[in-house]
Structure formats: C-alpha cells, structure tokens
C-alpha cells in the first residue's frame, strides 16, 4: 500500500520531552507557554513580524474575513480546496469566481478587474500547491479599487517571493498546519499580517473576544490551539528543513523517471524558493487520468484528484471558469511524502507508462 500522503511523525522521544513539561505545568491550552514558543519559532523561521497560531486553516480564513470586516462579494479562485470557498460563504459573503492561469493554476490577474463590482470587498486567492499567486499585480489591482487581499497559503509553507516569505503579502495570509500538510501540528493553522492592529483584532477574535474576564471586544470565536498541538509543531519544525529537502529530491526524481510520460506540469521554474508540497500532473484528458488512477489503485497505490470538482461547480456555487473546469478534469496528485522510496517512485512511474502505452 502506497498512500497519496503520509503525515510526518518525529521520533517519539522528542515529542515526549515536551509532553513531560505539559504534565509538570498542568497547563493544557489557552495561550500556554508552548503555543507562545511555537509562534516565536515560526516567526523566526519564516522571517515574519506577526503570526497567531490558531485551531486550523479554515478558522484562520474565517478569522481573516471577520477581522477585515468583509461584506458582499469576495473575488476568489475556483481551483483550491473547498475550505477556501466555504469560509467565504460561512461568513455570509458571496464568492465570485475568477478563472486561473493555465500554467501556474493560480488566479488570473488579467480577469480580476472585470469581476469587480460596487459590492466587491476583497480578493481571496490561493497559492495552490505552494505556487505563489502574482502577488504584486494583485496588490496593484486591490489598491486601485480599495480592496482587501487575503491569501490562502495552506500549501505555501517555506515558499519565498522576492526574498520574503510569501505569507508577507496581502493584508492577511493564512496557513494550515493539518497533519497532511508539509509542516504540521496535527490540527492547526496560522494567520499572518504586517499590521499590528489587525493582529490585535485577530488575537481577540481567536479567544471569544475576551478582553479580561468580563469584557468582550468584538464577536469572537474559539480559534485557540492547545499545548499538545504546539508541542508537535515545535518538534516537526526541527525536521522541516529535512522534509523540504527530501520533497525536492523526490519531485526531481519523479520529473526524471516520468520524462517518457505524455503529461504536463504546473509551471514552477520561476519560483525563487519553492516547497514541492504536492506532485500534481496534468494528463492529456480525463480519460487518461481515470485509466491511470485505476492502474495505480489496482496496485494499491493512492492518488488524488486535487482539485476536482472546481469550486465554481459545487451545488451551492456558480461561476464561469473554463480554464479551471478543464484543468480540474485532468489533474492528479501522485504520492509524495518523506518516507516514499525511489523504488516506490519507480513502481509508480512503470504503472503510469504501462497505462499510457496500452
């Protein structure tokens, strides 16, 4: 059995050390010392001024929308995980889908202006597979029209644009630290902003709005995370350079052994620091994808249609996005995780080549 992904588990003793400390202190959650330590270490590692550790990447998006007080329409990408869209709807806003770039698969900035109306309040775009959006173009458009910008950076841990973490761009960036993501805290996520006022607001919102025991500052939610989750993050962070390095090598090996396969890849060659979070391949058509998926499945190998269907195609959404519709029909993510071996990768390549040549 080769799954499409496997969570990274550090050596047990490293986690146990932190857990012993939790037992000594008897402090399990509510902004404990390990949560603080993780926030500090993450800011240092990523080179960020402000970051809050929250319960998950979906709450992070909701906190961002709430903190910016967004109303009405939010321009967004159809090519992402469902939480990007549902967090907009959950906050009572309307997602307006703008199609993606055929090579990078991120939102197409050329199409954004035509989608702006009097009701537009923001742009919420995803650095899909860790591929950065055209952040400078998007900021120019947002500035021109007075819109806020949120980036769903759930896939983008460790990615840099112009010497800075990609999380530095936009009014707020979010990340997911779910077990299947590149860096994880089992469940978890973060909000990042350059604006100290926004940070303060999100810190209140994360903790029910509590301003002391008896006062409430805004309509908050429980977006906190626990000492146990922070402990996992602190341990995984010690291994993250290793994980990044390993994924890069594995991706490069895939490119090499799949060179005979008639598929395309999203364009990553101009990214100054990429993270190889996923390994998406684009088949010539959906039929080839289905046959390949079946071929892999028959040998006990997992693969996933990230992202299908497009988010404009859900029963509660609508939007005309021909590029995304077409790409989502023929994109498949292959297994990629730290313990995947070269031998397993060769087996995957052999199966895909056999299916293609049949």
Ligand X SMILES: *Cc1c(COP(=O)(O)O)cnc(C)c1O
Q: Does 93 bind ligand X (CB under 6 A)?
A: no
Cβ atoms of 98 and 122 within 8 Å: the answer is: no
Number of residues that bind ligand X (CB under 6 A): 14
By CB under 6 A, is residue 154 in contact with ligand X? Answer: yes
Name every residue whose Cβ is closer than 8 Å to that of residue 113 and which is 6 or more positions away in sequence. 141, 145
The 14-43 site mask, x for binding ligand X (CB under 6 A), equals ------------------------------
Binding test (CB under 6 A) with ligand X, winner from 58, 225, 250, 328: 58
Residue 108 sits in the site that holds ligand X (CB under 6 A): no
Interior/surface letters 315-347, b for 16+ CB within 10 angstroms, e for the rest: eebebebebbbebbbbbbbbbbbbebeeeebee
Nearer to ligand X, 81 or 167 (CB): 81
155 forms part of the interface with ligand X (CB under 6 A): yes
Q: Which is nearer to ligand X, 2 or 311 (CB)?
A: 311
Nearest distance from C-beta of residue 63 to ligand X, angstroms: 12
d(CA 292, CA 353): 9
Q: How far is the CB of 90 from ligand X (least distance, A)?
A: 12
- CA torsion sign, 254 to 260 to 262 to 265? positive
Picking from 240, 231, 234, 282, the residue whose alpha carbon sits closest to that of residue 261 is 282
Q: Which region, judged by CB under 6 A, interacts with ligand X, from 76-84, 140-148, 262-270, 333-341?
A: 76-84
Applying CB under 6 A, which of residues 86, 139, 176, 317 lies at the interface with ligand X?
176
For ligand X, which is the closer residue by CB, 61 or 355? 61
* 328 scored as a contact of ligand X (CB under 6 A): no
Buried b / exposed e over 234-269, threshold 16 CB at 10 Å, is: bbbbebbeebbebbeebbeebeebbeebebbbbebe
Shortest CB 243 distance to ligand X, Å: 17
Please say whether the beta carbons of 82 and 95 come within 8 A.
no
Strand 148-152 with 120-126, pairing: parallel
Report the nearest approach of ligand X to the CB of residue 327 (Å): 16
Q: Under the criterion CB under 6 A, does residue 81 sit at the interface with ligand X?
A: yes
The residues binding ligand X (CB under 6 A) are 56-58, 80-81, 83-84, 126, 152, 154-155, 176, 178, 189
């Amino acid at each position: 059995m080769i799954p499409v992904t496997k969570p990274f588990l550090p050596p047990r003793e490293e986690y146990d050390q932190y857990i012993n400390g939790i037992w000594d202190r008897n402090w399990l959650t509510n902004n404990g010392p390990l949560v603080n330590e993780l926030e500090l270490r993450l800011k240092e590692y990523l080179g960020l001024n402000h970051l809050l550790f929250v319960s998950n990447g979906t709450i992070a998006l909701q906190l961002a929308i709430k903190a910016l007080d967004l109303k009405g329409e939010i321009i967004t990408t159809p090519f992402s995980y469902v939480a990007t869209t549902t967090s907009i709807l959950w906050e009572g806003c309307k997602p307006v889908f703008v199609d993606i770039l055929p090579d990078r698969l991120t939102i197409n900035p050329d199409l954004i202006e035509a989608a702006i109306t009097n009701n537009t309040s923001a742009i919420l775009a995803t650095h899909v597979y860790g591929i950065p959006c055209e952040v400078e173009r998007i900021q120019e458009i947002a500035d021109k029209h007075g819109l806020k910008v949120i980036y769903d950076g759930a896939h983008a841990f460790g990615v840099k644009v112009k010497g800075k973490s990609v999380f530095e761009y936009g009014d707020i960036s979010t990340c997911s630290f779910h077990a299947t993501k590149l860096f994880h805290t089992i469940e978890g996520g973060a909000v990042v902003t350059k604006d100290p006022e926004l940070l303060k607001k999100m810190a209140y919102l994360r903790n029910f709005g509590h301003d002391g025991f008896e006062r409430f500052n805004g309509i908050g939610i429980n977006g906190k995370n626990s000492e146990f989750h922070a402990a996992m993050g602190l341990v995984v962070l010690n291994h993250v350079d290793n994980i990044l390095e390993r994924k890069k090598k594995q991706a490069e090996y895939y490119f090499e052994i799949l060179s005979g396969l008639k598929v395309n890849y999203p364009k990553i060659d101009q990214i100054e620091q990429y993270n190889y979070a996923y390994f998406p391949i684009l088949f010539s058509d959906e039929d080839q994808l289905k046959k390949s998926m079946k071929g892999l499945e028959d040998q006990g190998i997992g693969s996933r249609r990230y992202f299908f269907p497009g988010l404009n195609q859900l029963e509660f959404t609508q939007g005309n996005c021909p590029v995304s519709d077409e790409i989502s029909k023929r994109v498949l993510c292959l297994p990629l995780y730290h313990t995947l071996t070269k031998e397993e990768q060769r087996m995957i390549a052999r199966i895909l080549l056999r299916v293609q040549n049949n």
